[in-house]
Amino acid sequence: MLDALANSAIDDIRKKHKKKGKKQGNSRDGWVVVDFGDVVVHLFSPDQRDFYQIEELWEEGKVLLKLK
């Protein structure tokens, strides 16, 4: 599922904003990163998200988009 989300983001950003994205990581590892240069997208499995507790790490940051 994470690979599908990453590939979809890459395709959409390429079509809408003419930016190339580079995907790293693998969905079976629970963490996929897509680097667009000025924007980096991190996609976590639920288990990895719980492990790293990202919401607590960035609790003072502004949420721009949250997908569940």
Could you give the domains of the chain?
2-57 (3.30.460.10)
**What is the structure's pLDDT at 21?**
95
Q: 15-42, pLDDT tens digit by residue?
A: 999 999 999 998 999 999 999 999 999 9
54, amino acid identity: I
Nearest to 23 by CA among 9, 38, 35, 5: 35
Distance separating alpha carbons of residues 50 and 39, to the nearest angstrom: 23
14, 21 in Cβ contact below 8 A?
A: yes
Question: Per-residue pLDDT for 58 more than 80?
Answer: no
- Non-local CB neighbours of 19 within 8 Å, separated by 6+ positions: 13, 36, 37
